[in-house]
Amino acid sequence: MMQKSEFHITQMSSCERSAFIAYENNPAPLWSNFLFVSVPLTVTFKVIGPDHPITASVGEDALLPCHLSPSMSAQEMEVRWFRSKFSEPVHLYQNGKDQADQQIPDYQGRTELLKEGIVNGSVVLRIRNISPSDYGQFNCFFRSRNFYEDAVLELKVAGLGSTPRIAIDSYQSGGIHMVCESAGWYPEPEMQWRDLRGQHLPSLTEKITQHDNGLFEAQISIIVTETSSQDLSCSVRNSHLDPGKKSVVYIAGWCSSKPHSSVAVYILLVVVALLTFTASYLFWKQHKAKEVKVTLDPETAHPRLKLSDDKTTVTWESKHQALPDNPERFDQVFCVLGSEGFSSGRIYWEVEGMGRIWAIGVARESVRRKGPISFTPEEGIWGIEQSRNCYSLLTTPECPLPMSESPVKVRIYVHYEKEEVAFFNPDNADRIATLTASFRGEKIFPFFWVCSHLTLRGNWGGEGEGGELFLTLTHVTNIPASSFGTDAEPQHSQLCHWQSLTVRVTHALMVGSGDSSPSPSPLLLGSSDCLSHCRDLIPILKDALSQRCRGGTR
């Protein structure tokens, strides 16, 4: 019969507990009365994450690190990253490998668990192509056979938007209505006008729009008058990025406060554009993009555009090809789109060997294909245009681009998340232009317009007037006014210099009592120092050329 029972429990090692149960019922040696029972020890640990929020830019990668303390191998553990629900893993490592089929759809193909330090309990989750929806908390969870712990990390998403673009909207009574806009920001940015002393200037209007991709677009406006501060800046920033971005416009004097002072408005617009382009160029140089192979989509090509067999070359032809009038095809304007569309990332392609009349850029997938089309952002097109060495931005209104030489190639950059389109000369790295776009979450496609009309002939005159206007576009440089002779200069002639394009007009207005014989007189049109009738002809000539080419078969 057992006379005495004792239980002695002591820790034998850091990995197990041993229970000693002694039964003293005979004079046998003490050690023969012990029964050894081994019980596994629960190994505890902590999961440590960063003690501060991690900030990542839209479109970039985010790295979320966490590790075990004390240091130990996690190769045989489960490592789970999740957000609000444990059952919906962002990334799952289990049974010694990644379980990609367990991920929620939003993160499939976007994550990678970096395991270089997993033998010491250290892992890093890489999330690619960060978007505003990634903003918030992530849980880093470790589980061994009999213990688990997690840590919470905070990810802040910052969208560094486009350089503010300052443009002249209209001339209003008493001043110029100027608009500043910038897109691609997250979270919602702050936008302000300031004078060059840093004093805040109240905005006339303020508008913030959040697009389907989660990014914000900001727009403010102001009226600049003769008596107001004429040197001002437009700045935009958000709380997660410092500094923000700023554009400055310098208004060197006030030409006139009368509504007809359109020349001053025109010059101001060009100065603003150049300042904005410079800032945008510096931004683009800091952001590399991947080159993509662009081929042309024959289903979209106008019947007068002939594509090469490899679909990399387009040529305008006078013969109308017999092609099906499918919904994707342009039927009046000589346009064609690229075969592949893009809805994310940073990409670029090059266009080479262009003719004398063309437009290139990008277009939204929803761009109209039937009927006449205006090449404007409102239509969903962002690009540049050339007409016989005269370059302009496809904006509203069109903005002339001063070019020292005609590029043989043009490189087109697109940053989808920041909604920016930039044009460069790849041979000398010169910036041509940068445009702020509004993609609205749609796919965008490379856009091409080709027109070979170099000479126009048509009627010109008001009601009851006759006559013809023959327009021959000729590139003329360094023409001295004296070469035309002061005495011999006809009544309707005027010498002007307008960017790099000079237009020679054979003017044959019928005057008086039915004199129908044309009396040609040379007229060279150009810049802001033209007389009023000369200046008024510029939009007429530009519109005539554009309508002739863009009107297709007209």
Three state DSSP letters for 257-283: CCCCCHHHHHHHHHHHHHHHHHHHHHH
Rounded CA-CA distance 174/169 in Å is 14
- Of 391, 398, 402, 351, the C-alpha closest to 374 is 398
Q: How far is CA 154 from the centre of its chain?
A: 27
Place of tokens 């099906």: 324
**CB distance 400 to 392 below 8 Å:** yes
Q: How far is CA 429 from CA 186, 281, 309, 424, in A?
A: 30, 10, 31, 6
Q: Report whether the peptide linkage leading into residue 303 is cis, meaning its omega lies within 30 degrees of zero.
A: no
SS3 for 501?
strand
**CB distance 245 to 218 below 8 Å:** no
Return per-residue pLDDT of the chain as tens, 554 residues. Answer: 444 444 343 334 333 333 333 334 445 554 445 555 555 567 899 999 999 999 998 889 999 999 999 999 999 999 999 999 999 999 999 999 999 999 999 999 999 999 999 999 999 999 999 999 999 999 999 999 999 999 999 999 988 888 888 877 776 666 778 888 888 888 899 999 988 778 889 999 999 999 988 899 999 999 887 666 556 788 888 876 655 666 665 554 333 333 333 333 333 333 333 333 444 444 444 445 566 678 899 999 999 888 888 888 888 887 889 999 999 999 989 999 999 999 988 888 888 866 677 899 999 999 999 988 889 999 999 999 887 678 888 887 777 777 767 777 889 999 999 899 999 888 877 778 888 899 988 999 999 998 743 222 222 222 222 222 222 222 222 323 333 333 333 332 222 222 222 222 322 222 222 333 333 323 232 222 222 333 334 444 444 444 444 444 33
> Which amino acid makes up residue 44?
T
Rounded CA-CA distance 120/142 in Å is 13
Sorted by sequence, the CB contacts under 8 Å of residue 44 that are 6+ apart come out as 147, 149
Rounded CA-CA distance 419/243 in Å is 20
Q: Report whether the peptide linkage leading into residue 189 is cis, meaning its omega lies within 30 degrees of zero.
A: no
Rounded CA-CA distance 363/375 in Å is 9
Burial class (CB within 10 angstroms; exposed 0-12, middle 13-18, buried 19+) of 467 = middle
Q: Which domains can be identified in the chain, with CATH numbers? A: 5-40 (no CATH), 47-158 (2.60.40.10), 165-285 (2.60.40.10), 290-450 (2.60.120.920), 455-550 (no CATH)
pTM of the model: 0.42
SS3 for 516?
coil
Rounded CA-CA distance 320/332 in Å is 12
